[in-house]
Amino acid sequence: MTDTAQSEPSSKKTNILFIMYDQLRFDYLSCAGHPHLDTPNFDRVAKMGVRFTNAYIQSPICGASRMSTYTGRYVSSHGAAWNGYPLRVGEHTMGDHLRKAGMDCWLIGKTHMKADADGMARLGLSPDSVIGARQAECGFDIWIRDDGLWAQGPDGFYDERRSPYNEYLKSKGYPSENPWADFANAGVDDQGDMASGWMFKNTDKAANIREEHSETPWLTDRTMDFIEQAEGPWCAHVSFIKPHWPYIVPAPYHDMYGANHVPAPKRHEMEREDPHPVYGAYMENRICSAFQQEEVRQKVIPAYMGLIKQCDDQLGRLLDFLEETGRMESTMIVLTSDHGDYLGDHWMGEKDLFHEQSVKVPMIIYDPRPEADATRGKTCDALVESIDLAPTFVDLAGAKVPDHILEGRSLLPWLEGKTPEWREFAICEYDYSATPQCVKLGLEPKDARLFMVFDGRYKLMHAEGGLRPMLFDLQSDPDEFNDLAKQPGHEDILDALYDKLATWGRRLAQRVTRSEDDIKNMRGRSLRRGVLPFMIDGSEVDEELTMYYRGPAPKWDSLDD
Amino acid sequence: MTDTAQSEPSSKKTNILFIMYDQLRFDYLSCAGHPHLDTPNFDRVAKMGVRFTNAYIQSPICGASRMSTYTGRYVSSHGAAWNGYPLRVGEHTMGDHLRKAGMDCWLIGKTHMKADADGMARLGLSPDSVIGARQAECGFDIWIRDDGLWAQGPDGFYDERRSPYNEYLKSKGYPSENPWADFANAGVDDQGDMASGWMFKNTDKAANIREEHSETPWLTDRTMDFIEQAEGPWCAHVSFIKPHWPYIVPAPYHDMYGANHVPAPKRHEMEREDPHPVYGAYMENRICSAFQQEEVRQKVIPAYMGLIKQCDDQLGRLLDFLEETGRMESTMIVLTSDHGDYLGDHWMGEKDLFHEQSVKVPMIIYDPRPEADATRGKTCDALVESIDLAPTFVDLAGAKVPDHILEGRSLLPWLEGKTPEWREFAICEYDYSATPQCVKLGLEPKDARLFMVFDGRYKLMHAEGGLRPMLFDLQSDPDEFNDLAKQPGHEDILDALYDKLATWGRRLAQRVTRSEDDIKNMRGRSLRRGVLPFMIDGSEVDEELTMYYRGPAPKWDSLDD
C-alpha cells in the first residue's frame, strides 16, 4: 500500500482537510439514514468519497478519544486516559509523523489536549520554544486553539487559557466578559433574563447572538483564512466544538426541528433489570436521569439537530469555497467525530459506555486522487478505528507508515477499492477513575477501567475490578438490549472475545525506538564487531572476524607502579 | 509500608550500594548450595540480611533486563526489548525517582543502555546538558560508565564509546591499543601467541594481566573512590561485567577449579524429542552446540567459577572497607544479577529462554535499619522480580512509591519480617527479533516474542507468531525436562496461566502522568468550574455553581460590523 502511495506523484500534491465534529452521533446524518435531519453537504462528501459504516473511536470521551486519533495509538498505549490526563511528553503524534514526511500539520479549533507540564519541566522543555510548543499542543502547529468550553464557576474557568472566540466576540462588540457564556450559549427568557444553554429548559430558545458570529461559522471563517494563505502540502485539523453541549443554537436553527422530529428512545425495560454495576451506576447519574424524561429529549434533541444542521450549512460554505478556488482536486476531506451522544437511548445521556450510540462515529473520506475514482459514493463496512487516520495521512503524504509506533492502519487501500488484510476486532477503552461512578462502586482509580472488543457481530465489555462482563449479539439484537453475559450458554463466545482481548493485550506498543526494518538491518552486526561468544578455537568463522584476537602475545614485564 | 518508611528517620540516613553482577547464575554461590564453589562474602551478606530464593529477572538478556531493573517496569512497558534497542526518551528511571526523593543516584560500571538519540534530537536535548546526559545514561549520574565489552572486528568496535578501563590499563603501562582484548581477556599459549578468551580452548589459561589490574578489582577500587568522597544520601549502582564472557580469569583464579568441580549437565534426552520450535532453534545454534560438548563445559565452567570466586574476594574487600570506615550501619547492600547462564544445562549455552538457570538470579539484601533486625540471615521465597528494586529504593529513601509508573513493589515489608499482600505470578519476556533464530523460524520481528508466566509451581512460555506454548510443573519436575504442553490433559493449567497473562496484558502501565492520588483530587473539579451538562432548570445544584449563568440578558443591538 505504502509503496503504491509512494509511487503516486498525485498523493504528493494532496492536502488534507481533517474535520472533526464533537459528539456527533453516527446516525444523525441523512446519508446515515436519519428520518428527519437533512444534511446535504455531509451527503455531498459521501457521494464524492467513501462512507465507512463501522468506524469506532478508541474511547467514549473527548480527551482520550482525541489523543488516540492524534497519536494513532490505543489509550492503553499513550496513557492519556481521560479529560485532563496529560499526554506524556515525547509521545509521537500525527504532526511528528507528517512533518517528517514533508507535510505541515496545523490545528484550527479543539484538541482537548493537556500538556505534560511535569514531563516537559523534567526534560527542560519550554512551551515557548517551537519544540516545546508542539509538545504542549499535541504535535500541531497552532492556527487557532479553542477547546470551546469557556465555562465559569466558583473555582474559576474550566479552561484557563485565553479564548480566541471570546476575543472575537468582544471585538465584534458583544458587551460581556465571557460572551461565550452570555451570548453564544445563552438565550433570553420572557423576563429578559439570561437563559443559559446549560439548562435543558432553555435549549429551545435561540442563542442570543447573530448566527454568523456563533461558533461554527466563526471557525469555518478561520479555516478559510488558513487555506487562503497555506502553501502545501498541509494537513489542517479543523476541530469544531459543536454539536457538543451546551445544547443551544442561534436562529433560525433553534426552531427548525420539534418534538415531532425526535425519534423514540431506543431503550428497553430489560436493560434496567439487574444491570451491570457500571451501567447501573451511570443510568442513575444526573444527566442520564434527565435524558430518561421524554420532555427533556423533546427539548434537547431538536437543539442538537439544529446544531448539526448549522454544521452542515457551514460545511457547504467550505465545500463551495474549495470548489470556487480550484482546491477540490488537491484536497482530501475527512469528516468524523470523537464520539457519539446517547440522547436518552439505553436510559443514558452523554457517552461513556460502549453502545453504538456512544462509540460508533461518522467517518466520511473524500480522496481526490484518481486512484480513488472507483469508490466514489460507496460505503465500506470494514471495522475501522479512529487510530487509522494518522497512518492514512502519513501514507497519503508518501511516507512509509511507522507501524512500530502507529497502531492504526492506512485506509488508502479501501479508498482505492482494494480489500486489504484487516483487523478482526475493534477495541475501545474507558477509564472512569475520575468519575462519581468510580466512587459509587467503591473502586480504586486503577480498577475503574472498561475494555470493549467488537468483532463485527459480538460486543464484549470487560470491566476491571472483579466486575462481570457484558455481551451483546448485534446480529440478533442490533439494539443491544439483551445482555447475554447475564445468561448461561455463551461461555464459548465470551472465551473467544476474551482471547482477542488477551491477544491485543500482548500487542507490541512500546518498542517505538526500533522499526521492523531497523531490527532486520542490525542482525549479525555484533559478530562483525568482534563479539564472538561461541567459538572453540576460532576455526568456526572467517579469519576476518578473529583478526583482532590473534598474533604474538604482548608483554607487560615493565609496568610503572 | 511507605508511611512506615517515611516515619523512620533511620531510613533517611541509609545509603544504597546496589551491586549487580553480569550473568551470575542463582545457584553458583555457596549460600545457594553450590557443591564446590565457596563464596564466603556473598554468604556473609546473606547472613546479615535476607536472601530471596525466588527472584526473577524480566528478560533473559542484559539490555532489556537492566532497562526493567532501572525503570522498575516490564519490558513491554518501557519497550527497550533487546540489547541496543534504545530506551525511549522521557521514560522514568530509578535516578529520576530517587533524586525526587532527595537521594543521588550514581553509576559505577555497566548499564548496557542505549540512548534514544532520535528521540533526544526530536526534543532538542543535548547529551552535554545535565538533563540530556541523564536521559542518555538511563537516569544515572556517571562516576564511571564501562559496559565491559571492548570487542573489535572488521566493522569496528562493538561499543564505540571510550573505555575507561582501557585508559586505566594504558596508564598502568600495558602496551596495547586495546589492552582489554590483548591482556585482560587473553592468555598466552605455548608458542607465546595471544590466546583469546573468546575461544573456549583458552579458558583454562591465566589472563595475561596482573590480577589487581583485572576488571573486577579495578571497578571495586573505583567504588571505594566513590564512597570515600560521597555525601549521602546516595544510591550507587556498582555494575560488574563479570562473570560474563569472555570466560577467562587471571592467576590464581584460573586453576582454582577443575573438571572435578563441574556439576553434571542438567539435561535430558526427552528435551530433544520434538522440542518447541524456538527451543529447538536455540539448541542448534553455535554456542549451544559448543556447550553440549562436555570438554567445553569442563574447560569453561572452571573459568566461570574462578571469575565468581574473584568477585567474592573483591566483595570481601568492599565489605571490610565499609566496616573499617564505619559505613556498614548506614549502607543497604544489594547483590543481584541481570540473568543467569545455562552452561550446558538443557542443551543450552548463554541465556535467552525461561529455564531457572536463565531467569532466576541471586537477590541478597542487607538492610542496616533496626526494623530489619528480625530477618537477618533468613531466606524469603516470595515471587520477587528485578523491578521490585526501584520501588524498594524509593521506599527506603522515604518517598511514596509512584505506583502509577513503577510496576514493581517495595521489598521493605519482607525485610522487616512482614507478610505483605503479594503478586501471584512472575513475568519474564524475551524479544528475539534481532537473532538468527527469528530468521530461521521465518518470523517477522514483531512476532519474535516470548512471555513467561510462573506462579511458583507452573511455568508457562507463550510464544507469539502462532507457535505452541511450553509448560513445566516445577513441583513434580523441578529440572524442567518434561514439557507438559506437548501432552494432553493440562488444558486447565494452561488456561489458568493464560488468564494470568491476559490480566497482566491489561495492566495499567502507561497512565504515567496521573497518580492515583492526583485522580482522586481532581474529581468534581469541572463542576465547580462551571461545567454543568445535566441541569433541567438549575435547581439541581447549589446556587453558587450557576452564579455565572444567571441575571439580566446582555444586549447586542449595536454591533460594529
Cell numbers that stand for A151 in this block: 465555562
User: How far apart are the C-alpha atoms of B169 and B527, rounded to whole Å?
Assistant: 68
Examine the pLDDT at A9 and tell me if it is beyond 50: no
**β-bridge partners, A429:** A451
B524/chain A closest Cα distance in angstroms: 8
Examine the pLDDT at A332 and tell me if it is beyond 50: yes
Name the nearest CA neighbour of A461 among A381, A382, A346.
Answer: A346
Q: Quote the pLDDT of residue A557.
A: 80
Residue of chain A whose alpha carbon sits nearest to that of B149: A531
The closest CB to that of A155, out of B118, B510, B529, belongs to: B529
Examine the pLDDT at A223 and tell me if it is beyond 60: yes
User: How far apart are the C-alpha atoms of B158 and A531, rounded to whole Å?
Assistant: 7
Q: Is residue A397 classed as helix, strand or coil in its secondary structure?
A: coil
Q: Quote the pLDDT of residue A561.
A: 60
Mean predicted confidence (pLDDT) in B79-89: 97
B198 and A158 within 8 Å at the Cβ level: the answer is: no
CB B431 within 8 A of CB B506: no
**Tens of pLDDT, residues A249-278:** 999 999 999 999 999 999 999 999 999 999
Asked which of A386-390, B3-7, B160-164, B467-471 is least confident by mean pLDDT, the reply is B3-7
Helices (H), B197-241: 215-229
Cell numbers 549521602 correspond to what residue? Answer: B232
Mean predicted confidence (pLDDT) in A450-472: 98
Q: What ipTM does this complex have? A: 0.95
Helices (H), A230-327: 277-283, 286-291, 294-324
**Tens of pLDDT, residues A68-95:** 999 999 999 999 999 999 999 999 999 9
Q: Describe the crossing of helices B215-229 and B294-324 by its angle, rounded to 10 degrees.
A: 20
User: How far apart are the C-alpha atoms of A94 and A391, rounded to whole Å?
Assistant: 8
Q: Rounded to 10 degrees, what is the CA torsion of A528, A530, A531, A533?
A: 110
CB A46 within 8 A of CB A312: no
What is the arrangement of strands in the sheet containing A331-337, beginning at the earlier edge strand? A141-145, A104-109, A234-239, A15-21, A331-337, A363-366, A50-52, A378-380
B336/chain A closest Cα distance in angstroms: 23
Q: Quote the pLDDT of residue B2.
A: 39
Q: How confident is the model at residue B561 (pLDDT cuts 50, 70, 90)?
A: low
CB B3 within 8 A of CB B413: no
User: How far apart are the C-alpha atoms of A79 and A116, rounded to whole Å?
Assistant: 11
Chain B residue numbers with beta carbons less than 8 Å from the beta carbon of A294 are none
Q: How confident is the model at residue B12 (pLDDT cuts 50, 70, 90)?
A: low
B78/chain A closest Cα distance in angstroms: 6
Examine the pLDDT at A227 and tell me if it is beyond 50: yes
A157 and B530 within 8 Å at the Cβ level: the answer is: yes
User: How far apart are the C-alpha atoms of A120 and B465, rounded to whole Å?
Assistant: 38
List the Cα angle A438/A86/B127 in 5-degree steps.
140
Q: Quote the pLDDT of residue A73.
A: 98
Q: Quote the pLDDT of residue A385.
A: 98
Mean predicted confidence (pLDDT) in A219-247: 97
Name the nearest CA neighbour of A92 among A407, A363, A384.
Answer: A407
Q: How confident is the model at residue A558 (pLDDT cuts 50, 70, 90)?
A: confident
Mean predicted confidence (pLDDT) in A356-375: 98
**β-bridge partners, A52:** A380
Mean predicted confidence (pLDDT) in A505-525: 96
For residue B253, what is the DSSP state?
A: G
**Tens of pLDDT, residues B439-453:** 999 999 999 999 999
CB B327 within 8 A of CB B228: no
The closest CB to that of B559, out of A172, A512, A556, belongs to: A172
Residue of chain A whose alpha carbon sits nearest to that of B127: A123
CA atoms within 13 A on the CB side of A42: 29
Give the phi and the psi of residue B425 in degrees, each rounded to 5. -155, 150
The closest CB to that of B513, out of A119, A200, A285, belongs to: A119
Q: Which residues contact B450 (CB under 8 A, 6 or more apart)?
A: B278, B353, B354, B429, B430, B431, B432, B461, B462, B463, B464
Q: Quote the pLDDT of residue A534.
A: 84
**Tens of pLDDT, residues B94-107:** 999 999 999 999 99
Q: Is residue B88 classed as helix, strand or coil in its secondary structure?
A: coil
B344/chain A closest Cα distance in angstroms: 12
Chain B residue numbers with beta carbons less than 8 Å from the beta carbon of A547 are 153-154
Residue of chain B whose alpha carbon sits nearest to that of A81: B511
Cell numbers that stand for A358 in this block: 456512544
The closest CB to that of B556, out of A183, A524, A548, belongs to: A183
**Tens of pLDDT, residues B112-152:** 999 999 999 999 999 889 999 999 999 999 999 999 999 99
Examine the pLDDT at B296 and tell me if it is beyond 90: yes
Q: Mean pLDDT, chain B, as a whole number?
A: 95
**β-bridge partners, B454:** B426, B459
Taking residue A421's Cβ as centre, other Cβ atoms within 10 Å add up to 7
A44/chain B closest Cα distance in angstroms: 32
Asked which of B16-30, B105-119, B460-474, B529-543 is least confident by mean pLDDT, the reply is B529-543
One-letter amino acid of B125: L
Name the nearest CA neighbour of A378 among A348, A419, A438, A439.
Answer: A419
CB B425 within 8 A of CB B455: yes
The closest CB to that of A175, out of B200, B501, B554, belongs to: B554
Which residue, among B77, B198, B288, would best test binding to A if mutated, counting the most A CBs under 10 Å from its CB?
B198
Mean predicted confidence (pLDDT) in B385-397: 98
Q: Quote the pLDDT of residue A524.
A: 87
Chains A, B: CB pairs < 8 Å: 369
**β-bridge partners, A188:** A194
Examine the pLDDT at B9 and tell me if it is beyond 50: no
Q: Quote the pLDDT of residue B8.
A: 41
Task: Tell me whether residue B229 is exposed, middle or buried, using C-beta atoms within 10 angstroms of its C-beta: 0 to 12, 13 to 18, 19 or more.
Answer: exposed
Q: Which helix (H) or strand (E) holds A73?
A: none
B551 and A193 within 8 Å at the Cβ level: the answer is: yes
Q: Quote the pLDDT of residue B7.
A: 41
**Tens of pLDDT, residues B228-285:** 999 989 999 999 999 999 999 999 999 999 999 999 999 999 999 999 999 999 999 9
Mean predicted confidence (pLDDT) in B466-490: 98
Cell numbers 538478556 correspond to what residue? Answer: B61
A549 and B199 within 8 Å at the Cβ level: the answer is: yes
Q: How confident is the model at residue B557 (pLDDT cuts 50, 70, 90)?
A: confident
A538 and B199 within 8 Å at the Cβ level: the answer is: yes
